[in-house]
């Protein structure tokens, strides 16, 4: 998979931009706050219709403008696709080959990207919410139906929590509607959980292999899915039975507290290095190596699931890694993945890759391309 061309209109600090990417490695070079990250973000938004930096689409639209537009020409196998995303104050429209896609699941997955930013090095020691978001964004690209089930789950959860609060405050007394919402929550939640469990098992396989190489076979990595309900099977029906039983057991407590305590929205991941919890007992180096292994594992996992390597977006992450981890990262992606990298200096890549990059100098939203 490759992005051959990117066009922007009124996107953040880019009023109009058109770039072609003939090579596999593309470096955006410049000082901070010039627009390098905005470029990577636009590719991410083109793929997933949302930003990793903000939940407000208004922030993506240029100052005093009514809309922002992102277009991309991508290459998948032997075919080319035209993707287009239009962002307005009223919402967004997505098109594939100039045909509007009404369903998100019809659009997401056309362009697969993996973003690696400095904050991803906190994947291990960060919040459970960060790890759940990581699962949702990566799994959603591989399996767009998962995004539908997750959206339905989140919508039902919101309705259920609102009704639990009304029951708690005695504004409602009828629990029949709660039964209906619980059925729906369990239905969608069981599908979400089943897909997550299968994804984590595959991610663990690829991550452990990479982690072993980075640590010269000194460490093994295991990833455990820490569910808020006792799961013994990956089968949807088995999960459904357990989930329903647990909600029934906790009903009085949930009504009293006015909140849903159990489900995918409360789950987490546990990373084990040499059978020790690296979140609790690991050094900063071990935590960073684990995060790097997990992020790079997505490359081969996506290839296995979709038949295409994803595009890799590296947002100023090289400066956060020591020489050894930089080399392992570059060796993993070389000649395999189209990569877009932002940096303030070329020192991190000089002499470490055989691939010749295209270098784009970024200054105050203006870009000058240097051929190498």
Q: What is the mean pLDDT of each run of 10 residues along the chain (372 residues)?
A: 95 93 88 90 94 86 92 92 93 93 87 89 91 93 91 97 95 92 98 97 95 91 97 95 97 95 97 95 90 92 92 88 81 85 84 80 86 58
A 10 A CB-CB count for 221 gives 24
To the question of whether residue 365 is assigned a binding role by annotation, the answer is: no
Helix axis angle, 176-214 to 144-168, nearest 10°: 130
Tokens 């930013």 locate to 117
pTM of the model: 0.87
Residue 192 is inside which H or E element, if any?
A: helix 176-214
Q: CB–CB of 34/362 below 8 Å?
A: yes
331: which 2 tokens? 């060796």
User: Three-state SS for 289?
Assistant: helix
Euclidean distance between CA atoms 175 and 154, whole angstroms? 20
To the question of whether residue 275 is assigned a binding role by annotation, the answer is: no
Euclidean distance between CA atoms 214 and 17, whole angstroms? 39
A 10 A CB-CB count for 68 gives 24
In this prediction, residue 32 carries a pLDDT of: 87
Tokens 């000089």 locate to 350
In this prediction, residue 356 carries a pLDDT of: 79
To the question of whether residue 33 is assigned a binding role by annotation, the answer is: yes
Q: Is the dihedral of CA 346, 348, 354, 358 positive or negative?
A: negative
A 10 A CB-CB count for 334 gives 15
To the question of whether residue 30 is assigned a binding role by annotation, the answer is: yes
In this prediction, residue 371 carries a pLDDT of: 60
To the question of whether residue 238 is assigned a binding role by annotation, the answer is: no
To the question of whether residue 32 is assigned a binding role by annotation, the answer is: yes
User: Three-state SS for 362?
Assistant: strand
| Cα dist from 110 to 93, 198, 209, 340, 367, whole Å | 15, 22, 28, 18, 27
Q: Which of 83, 199, 77 is nearest to 138 (CA)?
A: 199
Q: CB–CB of 341/319 below 8 Å?
A: no
Q: What is the DSSP letter of 70?
A: E
Euclidean distance between CA atoms 23 and 1, whole angstroms? 12
């Amino acid at each position: 998979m490759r992005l051959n061309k990117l066009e922007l209109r009124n996107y953040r600090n880019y009023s109009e931009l058109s770039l072609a990417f003939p090579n596999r490695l593309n470096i955006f070079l410049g000082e901070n706050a010039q627009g390098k990250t905005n470029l990577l973000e636009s590719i991410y938004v083109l793929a997933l219709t949302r930003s990793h930096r903000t939940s407000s689409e208004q922030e993506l639209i240029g100052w005093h403008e009514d809309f922002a537009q992102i277009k991309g020409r991508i290459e998948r196998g032997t075919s080319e696709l035209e993707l287009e995303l239009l962002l307005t104050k009223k919402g967004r429209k997505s098109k594939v080959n100039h045909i509007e896609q009404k369903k998100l699941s019809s659009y997401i997955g056309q362009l697969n990207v993996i973003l690696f930013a400095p904050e991803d090095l906190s994947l291990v020691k960060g919040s459970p919410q960060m790890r759940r978001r990581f699962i949702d964004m990566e799994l959603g690209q591989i399996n767009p139906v998962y995004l539908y089930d997750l959206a339905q789950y989140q919508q039902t959860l919101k309705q259920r929590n609102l009704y639990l609060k009304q029951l708690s405050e005695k504004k409602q007394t009828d629990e029949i509607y709660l039964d209906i919402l619980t059925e729906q929550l369990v239905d969608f939640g069981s599908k979400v959980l089943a897909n997550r469990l299968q994804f984590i098992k595959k991610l663990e396989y690829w991550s452990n292999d990479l982690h072993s190489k980075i640590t010269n076979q000194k460490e093994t990595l295991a990833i455990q899915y820490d569910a808020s309900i006792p799961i013994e099977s990956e089968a949807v029906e088995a999960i459904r039975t357990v989930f329903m039983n647990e909600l029934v057991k906790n009903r009085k407590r949930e009504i009293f507290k006015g909140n849903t305590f159990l489900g995918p929205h409360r789950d987490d991941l546990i990373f084990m290095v040499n059978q020790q919890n690296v979140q609790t007992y690991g050094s900063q180096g071990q935590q960073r190596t684990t995060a790097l292994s997990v992020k790079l594992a997505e490359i081969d996992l996506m290839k296995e699931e979709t038949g295409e390597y994803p595009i890799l977006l590296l947002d100023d992450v090289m400066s956060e890694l020591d020489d050894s981890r930089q080399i392992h990262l570059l060796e993993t992606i070389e000649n395999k993945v189209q990569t877009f990298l932002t940096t303030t200096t070329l020192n991190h890549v000089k002499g470490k890759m055989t691939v010749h990059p295209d270098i784009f100098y970024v200054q105050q939203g203006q870009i000058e391309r240097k051929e190498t």
